């Protein structure tokens, strides 16, 4: 009697193997990363296939008025309270009140979303960022250390975009390629490869600019100026660059091209 297990392992008469019994190849690192990036972009409403205006797409990606308020208000509260409670002699504000009110407001935003049964991803991520930053300041006793997590984020994101650009695997290209259903085929198109290279460089430059402007203020322990510039160099710079990136992608994938990708001959 033939062992069923060994029968499944036996090669075909021509020396090959049964494709139905051959396990599919594991996805490459670029495929896995591209798929993850595309999923994140799609959840943020940045799908170039969507027939919506650039302004609507960017506004949706930021979470609308509510998302902007959740991102900005905790920082404004921290700077306002710290400045208003600043001691004229020492130049230091009340760290506990500043951090307490900032974290409390971020927590209220998250609770409000939970009560309304709305998506809480952005609110929770904002709350975690505020809590981590507050922890740095509390454990060290220095208000300026509240901005250390932001510096780390800028370094990591900036380095990732820069390295991906010069390695020929632009993060923007990976995300867009999988959003448009062409995977990494964009790397064979010189026009797309160049566009995605410069978009990645632009995003790396944004994160680098934040560091170059804000880090000297951190070294000078100028908390008020540092917090103010962090807000100014946040959404006001992020939104226009996001809009430019979206417009470039739409130019690279006009409707006719998208139809060709979706419906190959």
Compute the distance between CA of residue 53 and CA of residue 116 in angstroms, rounded to an integer: 28
Tell which wins on pLDDT, 210 or 259. Answer: 210
Retrieve residue 51's tokens: 């027939």
**Which percentage of the chain shows pLDDT scores above 90?**
52
65-75 pLDDT, tens per residue?
Answer: 888 888 899 99
Give dist(CA 264, CA 141) in Å, integer.
Answer: 61
Lookup: tokens for 262? 């979706």
CB 105 within 8 A of CB 132: no
How confident is the model at residue 44, as a pLDDT?
66
Q: What is the mean pLDDT of residues 128-149?
A: 91
Between 161 and 178, name the one with better pLDDT: 161
pLDDT score of 40? 72
Determine phi and psi for 183, rounding to 5 degrees. Answer: 60, -125
Residue 240 reports pLDDT greater than 90: yes
Assign 8 a pLDDT band (cuts: 50, 70, 90).
Answer: very low
Q: Which of the pair, 261 or 114, is modelled with greater confidence?
A: 114
Q: Is the pLDDT of residue 42 over 90?
A: no
Which comes out higher in pLDDT, residue 180 or 31?
Answer: 180
Helix residue spans in the chain (DSSP H): 4-9, 29-43, 54-61, 64-84, 95-115, 121-140, 148-166, 171-179, 190-219, 223-232, 235-252, 255-262
Q: Which of 149, 102, 106 is nearest to 124 (CA)?
A: 106
pLDDT on residue 47 = 67
What pLDDT was estimated at residue 49?
A: 66
Question: Residue 175: what are its φ and ψ, rounded to 5°?
Answer: -65, -50
Specify the pLDDT at position 197: 97
Would you state the pLDDT for residue 13?
Answer: 53
Phi-psi region of 128 (alpha: psi -120 to 50; beta: other; left: phi over 0): alpha
pLDDT for 45 equals 67
* pLDDT exceeds cutoff 70 at 15: no
From CA 26, how far away is CA 146, in angstroms rounded? 42
pLDDT recorded at residue 263: 53
Predicted pLDDT at 53: 72
Q: In which band, very low, low, confident or very high, does the pLDDT at 20 lie, cut at 50, 70 and 90?
A: very low
What does the mean pLDDT of the chain come to? 83
Asked whether residue 217 carries a pLDDT value surpassing 90, the answer given is yes
Residue 257 has pLDDT above 80, yes or no: no
Would you kindly state where each structural domain of the chain is located, as residue ranges? 29-39+53-262
Neighbours of 138 (CB within 10 A): 16
Region of poorest pLDDT, from 2-11, 21-30, 126-135, 153-162: 2-11
Q: For residue 35, is pLDDT > 90?
A: no
Answer whether residue 137 shows pLDDT above 80.
Answer: yes
């Amino acid at each position: 009697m033939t062992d069923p297990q060994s029968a499944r392992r036996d090669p075909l008469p021509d020396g090959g193997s049964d494709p139905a019994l051959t396990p599919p190849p594991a996805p490459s690192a670029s495929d896995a990363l591209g798929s993850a990036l595309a999923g994140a972009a799609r959840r943020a409403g940045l799908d170039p296939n969507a027939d919506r205006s650039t302004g609507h797409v960017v506004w949706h990606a930021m979470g609308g008025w509510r998302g902007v308020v959740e991102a900005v208000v905790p920082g404004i509260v921290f700077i306002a309270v710290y400045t208003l409670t600043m001691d004229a002699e020492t130049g230091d504000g009340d760290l506990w009140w500043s951090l307490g009110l900032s974290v409390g407001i971020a927590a209220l935003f998250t609770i409000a979303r939970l009560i309304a049964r709305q998506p809480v991803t952005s609110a929770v991520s904002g709350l975690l960022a505020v809590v981590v930053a507050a922890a740095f300041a509390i454990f060290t006793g220095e208000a300026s250390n509240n901005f250390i997590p932001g510096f780390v984020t800028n370094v990591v994101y900036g380095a990732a975009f820069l390295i991906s650009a010069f390695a020929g695997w632009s993060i923007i290209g990976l995300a867009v390629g999988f959003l448009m259903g062409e995977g990494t085929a964009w790397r064979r198109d010189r026009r797309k490869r160049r566009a995605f290279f410069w978009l990645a460089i632009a995003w790396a430059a944004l994160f680098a600019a934040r560091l170059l402007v804000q880090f000297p203020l951190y070294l000078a322990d100028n908390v008020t100026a540092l917090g103010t510039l962090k807000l100014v160099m946040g959404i006001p710079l992020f939104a226009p660059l996001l809009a430019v990136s979206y417009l470039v992608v739409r130019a690279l994938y006009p409707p006719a091209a998208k139809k060709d990708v979706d419906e190959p001959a």
